């Protein structure tokens, strides 16, 4: 998922903007975050792609007024709020294009990132058009990337965040599983491929959670919140494939942001 730059290319096949992605939940609620600046970094899951009501500034980033960072800021009134998250951002884009919003006065940083780096857009496209064998091969390749280059990229990014915001609490949010198995979808992928994709999301979140913990950051799991609200469920909080709005495919709806992501952040931010 690279701004519309790379995501659009991979998605144009038929599917795709699966640009990002649950792992172990934080067990205890930490102390309340002190007053100060809040900076929201990350990819399309943080910018609010799929939630609608996009802000006029930075249109290519598809930042939504219904995204969880905006909702959290409205509820907690931080001293300052910088909404830097952008559609298509991978770790490199966050590192080079978003960290300028951080400072020693920043008290809270949130982000989702890692799906684009793992090649999920291409994986989803392959699963859509390549058949079960090619789908499973693509998923395996994405998992290898998670265990390889993604860990180094996350370490580099997390180190830079801490250097620029030494006093901030950093909350790294995970990604929801995409599919409700044995659900209502009559067409599309079979449950074998859907299960493989869900397992890959779990693996991705495990990698992200591990690297976050290594840097002293908090990982916020959204898997439980989205359980029963995946694609193919009776009340999905994720968009299925829509060729008329391909960028929003596989992204949270407004309820996914307000009822899935926002509570996960609120639980760990006090």
Task: Please say if 240 is a catalytic residue.
Answer: no
Of 189, 180, 176, 177, the closest CA to residue 136 belongs to 189
User: Of 12, 251, 258, 269, which is the active-site residue?
Assistant: 251
Residues 6+ apart with CB under 8 A from 190: 132
Q: Which residues contact 71 (CB under 8 A, 6 or more apart)?
A: 257, 258, 262
For the chain, where are the alpha helices, taking DSSP H only? Answer: 3-11, 44-47, 68-76, 91-97, 120-129, 131-145, 151-164, 191-214, 223-226, 254-255, 262-269
Sign of CA dihedral 251, 110, 42, 122: negative
Which of left, alpha, beta for 103 (phi over 0: left; psi -120 to 50: alpha)? beta
The span from the CA of 223 to the CA of 252, in Å, is 13
Provide the token pair at 234. Answer: 């009776």
For the chain, counts of helices (H) and of strands (E):
11, 5
251 classed as catalytic: yes
Task: Tell me 109's DSSP state.
Answer: E
Q: What's the farthest any 2 CA atoms get from each other in the chain?
A: 52
Q: How far apart are CA 190 and CA 188, in angstroms?
A: 7
Active-site annotation, residues: 44, 251
């Amino acid at each position: 998922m690279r701004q519309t730059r790379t995501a659009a290319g991979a998605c144009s096949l038929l599917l795709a903007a699966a640009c990002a992605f649950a792992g172990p939940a934080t067990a205890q609620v930490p102390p309340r975050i002190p007053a100060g600046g809040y900076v929201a970094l990350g990819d399309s899951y943080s910018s609010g792609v799929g939630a609608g009501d996009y802000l006029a500034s930075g249109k290519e980033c598809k930042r939504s007024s219904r995204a969880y960072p905006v909702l959290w800021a409205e509820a907690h009134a931080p001293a300052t709020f910088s909404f830097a998250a952008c559609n298509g951002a991978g770790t490199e884009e966050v590192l080079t294009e978003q960290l300028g919003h951080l400072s020693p006065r920043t008290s809270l940083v949130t982000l989702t990132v890692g799906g684009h780096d793992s090649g999920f857009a291409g994986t989803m496209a392959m699963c859509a058009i390549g058949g079960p064998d090619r789908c499973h091969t693509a998923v395996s390749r994405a998992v290898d990337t998670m265990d390889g280059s993604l860990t180094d990229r996350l370490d580099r990014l997390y180190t830079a965040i801490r250097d620029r915001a030494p006093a901030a609490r950093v909350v790294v949010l995970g990604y929801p599983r995409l599919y409700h198995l044995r659900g209502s979808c009559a067409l599309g992928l079979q449950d074998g491929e859907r299960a493989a994709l869900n397992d890959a999301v779990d693996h991705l979140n495990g990698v992200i959670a591990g690297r976050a913990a290594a840097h002293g950051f908090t990982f916020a799991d959204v898997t439980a919140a989205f359980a029963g609200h995946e694609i193919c469920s009776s009340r999905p909080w994720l968009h299925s494939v829509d060729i008329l709005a391909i960028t929003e495919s596989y992204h949270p709806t407004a309820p996914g942001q307000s009822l899935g992501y926002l509570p996960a952040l609120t639980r760990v931010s006090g």
